[in-house]
Amino acid sequence: MGFFKNLLKPGSATESNISRALRTVVESDTPAARSDLHNALKQQRVVLPVPRPPDNLQRDASGRLLQNTRLEFLSFQDSRGRKFIAVFTNPEALKKWKSDAPSWVAIDAPSVCRAALDSGQSVLQINPGDPTFVELGQEEMKLLAEAKGKE
């Protein structure tokens, strides 16, 4: 548990790139902060709630999907009635937000963005319910969907 405490400790030497980038966007939502977030997300696996784990999910070592795979994921609705896909930086963040999520998979953020766009989704929320909650719109999702990640 100490690992996750350090992972999320703001400004610590052990704070992850994604935690730092999310915190920076929340503190000052500038184009530079968003660019840093996009760069962090290109290399990041995210926790995606799913109704059931997919069969034959083939990923490389960094979590990128190896082929186009149809992902069933859970869509949520915010208090204003907008539908969104929720992803999380770790399983604990998901449990804090929705303790009854049936299951989840960890997949690279670009693959999640591709799958979400392919299914007509236009909003991706990262860590909803958390102080470092950030929302990505359709244009940001398209930008990430085109990313290849680490080779």
Question: What's the start-to-end Cα distance of the chain, in Å?
Answer: 31
| Percentage of residues in the chain having pLDDT higher than 70 | 77
* Residue, of 56 and 84, whose pLDDT is higher: 84
Of 140, 90, 134, give the one whose Cα is nearest residue 113: 140
Average model confidence (pLDDT) across the chain: 82
**DSSP label at 58?**
-
Average pLDDT over residues 94-114: 87
pTM: 0.80
CA dihedral 32, 84, 57, 118 (to 10 degrees): -80
